[in-house]
Structures are given as structure tokens and as C-alpha cells.
Amino acid sequence: MNSVCDGGATVIPGLPNDVAAWILSKVPYSHHARLKSTCKSWKLLLSSRSFLNSLNKRNHLLCIFPQDPSIASPFLFDPNALAWCPLPPMPCNPHVYGLCNFAAVPLGPHLYVLGGSLFDTRSFPIDRPSPSSATFRFNFHDFSWEPRAPMLTPRGSFACAVVQGRILVAGGGSRHTMFGAAGTRIRSVERYEVGRDRWVAMDPLPGFRAGCVGFVGGGGREFWVVGGYGASRTISGVFPVDEYYRDAVVMGFEGGAWREVGDVWGDGERVRVGKIVVVDDDECPTLFMLDGNEILRYEMCCNRWVYECRVPRKAPYNSSFGFVVLAGELYVVTHLCVVDFSETRRSRQQKRAGTVFIQIYDPKNKSWRSLVSKSPFNYPIDINSAVFSSISL
């Protein structure tokens, strides 16, 4: 670790640098940003690639994007230390605002933010959302954002997966969280080659599809796209309603052709449109859906969604849950806001103190546990529109 410190600077006076580095490696990653401001040698050490690679314990972190990341800072959450760490805001474009429905994809020591839906002041009409093709990458070594090559086709609400150091995206559209329906749909499929920083077009989906989920299955040989909506209809000729897909489509990496998987819902069974997450496994990934207060599991052998369990505690005030996978477990997240009356007495403006309540389900042991942490957000957030991601460092 001596090479980490410029000019052989001492990390902790009176201790060899190797011992000092071992001591600092015991500090959870979520606290590293605070420690970097202590001195130059600590900043060099904690930002070095060799130091992060030397950590003997993998840090499983949850990343929450409460809203447009160019306006509101994302936060990392360490469930073991119950600690929060803010990330710097993403680079801002003065012509666009209200980014949502983007994808946050972890890959190595980086976190990619892809596409999304936003409002562009240069478009007409100005109140109609547009899809984005922008790609940004956050580097956990130097704690900074950098722009990457944009996608060939702008999209939001799309399927996304990582395979062999490449990012695959499929479908999507322009729907914004401010509107319950409408928006465009596309068939486009492309992959991002990280080493070359370029996007390459692939065979399109069989039909237009947005709001879908993607994962890699078949032993890493297939790209699955599940759920989503395609065509739409209107009620009484006025109110638009989505037509949700009842099937999935699969592309083999060897042949490159798409094939359709049959109806995943039985005859007369209601189509569930809850949030879907994927628990990666070396042999076969497992899909889980959170619909209301119930969790369903997708059985590939019979091509059916089956009941798995029920969330122990419902979301308050008819709010919704955030749903994400971290270290093979399902995290069901809700944000509780209460009025801090002590602060209200001191100021005319009411301040809110929030609490993040997380219910964690272990699919292997079929057991639940919970975490409670003080929220880093001093304002109410919409969990339904927030973007969640997990990363292991």
C-alpha cells in the first residue's frame, strides 16, 4: 500500500502504511467519502484501485435515486452499518429536466445510468415528454461522473441486462411518471461494448414493448424480455389504457433470433403488473414480482407465476413499495415521513424527518427480517417513481 501514497506520505503517524491501510479497510465503504476529506494521504489511499481490491469483505450497497439525478443527489445505503453516503449529482443539461424511468446498471467499479424519459425545453409541445439516449457512468474510484457514448435509439422504461461485460437493452418508450398512460413504444435492441465505448444494433423485438424487464438465462446463452405493455386502447374513446403482454420473448446469443414464450397466466387469471426483480444465480436466475402486498415467483419449468409469500407490513397510507435485490435477498422499501414538531416550533416552515423502513426476504430460508434507518432525504420522496439499484464493491 505504500505506493498508494504520493511520495511515501504517512497514512497514520506511528504506524506502517500497510497496517494503517488494514485498519481503514475495516471502515464500511459508505463512510469513505467522509474520511477522504481528512488529509491528502487518506484521500489517495481510499481512492486507489489497489485499496478497493484489497478489501477482504465485499460491500453490498443499495443505491437510491429519489428523482432526477442531475438535480437531487443519489444516496448509497450500507445495510450492515445502517449508513448513508451521498453521491454527487449527475452532470446537468440546462435544456432538459424531470428525468425518470431510466436504468441504473452496476458493472464492475462503475454504475451506469442509461436513457430515461424527460422534458426538453427545445421540443414542441414543451409539455410532452421525450425519451433520452444519454449514458453516464459513475466511477467509484474517483467518485465522479463521466459521459459515455449515447444509445443509438432514445428510450426509457426498457429491459436491461448485463452479460460478459456488455450491457443489453431492449424495447422502451417515452412514458413519463407524470402521466399514467400514453407515450411511445419501440422494438429496438442494442448492446453496449464497455471496452470500446460504443453501442451496436441487434435484431429488434418481435413487437413494440415498453415497461418490460430483462435478464440473462439459459446458462448465459439467452436474453429474456418479460412483461411490459405494447398496444393501447381507450375507454369511452377518452381514457387510454395499456394492453399488457401475457408472455415473454427470448433471444439466443448464438442464433440471434427471437422466439416467443407462451402465456404465463392461466385461463381466466388476472394479469399482474407488479414490479419485477431478478435474483442472479450461476445456474438459473429467479424472477420475483411484487404486486401490492404479495410476492410471486416465476417458475420457468411450467411457465407460470406462483405465490411465494406476503409482505409482513403493508405500506402506509396506500403508498407503494420499492423493490430491489441485494446480495440474493429481496428488499421491500418504504419511506415514512412524519412532522418534526420540535423543528416546527423554531421555524414557520415545517421540516420533515423521514424514516426508511426495509423489509428483507431471504428466498432460500423463506424468512423475513427488517431494518429501520433515519432517512437522508429531508423531503418526501415518491418510492413508486424512485429508481433502485444494488452494487457490490
Phi, psi of 343 (to 5 degrees): -75, -30
- Give residue 203's pLDDT: 94
Residue predicted with more confidence, 271 or 101: 101
Grid cell 398512460 in the structure block, residue = 181
**3, pLDDT greater than 50:** no
Average pLDDT over residues 258-275: 84
Residue 31 backbone dihedrals phi, psi, to 5 degrees: -100, -5
Give tens-digit pLDDT for 36-72: 888 888 888 877 777 766 665 667 899 999 999 999 9
pLDDT band at 326 (very low <50, low <70, confident <90, very high): very high
Give the span between the Cα atoms of 77 and 356, in whole angstroms.
11
**Cell 481490491, residue?**
53
Average pLDDT score over residue span 237-245: 78
Query: In the chain, how long is the greatest CA-to-CA distance?
Result: 79
Query: Does the pLDDT of residue 185 top 70, yes or no?
Result: yes
Average pLDDT of span 112-139: 90
More confident residue, 15 or 28: 15
SS (H, E, C) 150-193: CCCCCCECCEEEEECCEEEEECCECCCCCCCCCCCECCCEEEEE
Q: What is the pLDDT of residue 341?
A: 37
> Chain-centre distance of CA 237, in angstroms?
36
- pLDDT > 90: what percent of the chain? 50
Residue 27: per-residue pLDDT: 81
Going by pLDDT thresholds of 50, 70 and 90, the confidence category of residue 11 is: confident
- 345 contacts: CB under 8 Å, gap ≥ 6: none
pLDDT band at 256 (very low <50, low <70, confident <90, very high): confident
The three-state secondary structure class of 368 is: strand
Q: Give yes or no for residue 127 having a pLDDT over 60.
A: yes
Q: Tell me the average pLDDT of the chain.
A: 85
| Residue 95 to residue 147: CA distance in whole angstroms | 16
Model confidence band, residue 319 (pLDDT cutoffs 50, 70, 90): confident
Cβ atoms within 10 Å of 300's Cβ, excluding its own: 15
Residue among 181, 160, 74, 63 nearest 116 (CA): 160
Contacts of 96 (CB under 8 A, 6+ apart): 118, 119, 120, 121, 132
Residue type, 301: C
The per-residue pLDDT for 237 is 66
The grid cell for 209 is: 414493448
Measure Cα distances from 365 to 9, 175, 274, 325 in Å: 48, 38, 23, 15
Q: What is the pLDDT of residue 293?
A: 92
pLDDT over 60 (residue 100):
yes
Q: How would you class 213 by CB atoms within 10 Å of its CB: exposed for 0-12, middle for 13-18, buried for 19 or more?
A: buried
Nearest to 278 by CA among 156, 389, 356: 389
pLDDT of residue 186: 95
**How many Cα neighbours within 13 Å face the side chain of 119?**
12
Of all residues in the chain, the percent with pLDDT exceeding 70 is 90
Q: What is the pLDDT of residue 275?
A: 92
Average pLDDT over residues 11-35: 81
Sequence-distant (6+) residues with CB within 8 A of 37 are 43
The cell numbers describing 186, all together, are 419501440
Query: How far is CA 56 from each of CA 11, 59, 131, 190, 364, rounded to the nearest angstrom?
Result: 19, 9, 41, 36, 25
3-state secondary structure 297-365: EEECCCCEEEEEEECCCCCHHHCCCEEEEECCEEEEEEEEEEECHHHHHHCCCCCEEEEEEEEEEECCC
Query: Which run of H or of E encompasses 387?
Result: strand 387-392
Q: What is the DSSP string of 106-147?
A: EETTEEEEE--EEEETTSSSTTS-EE---EEEEETTTTEEEE
pLDDT digits (tens, 9 = 90+) for 357-372: 999 999 999 999 999 9
C-alpha cell at 183: 407515450
d(CA 324, CA 282): 19
Judged against a pLDDT cut of 50, whether residue 263 lies above it is answered with yes
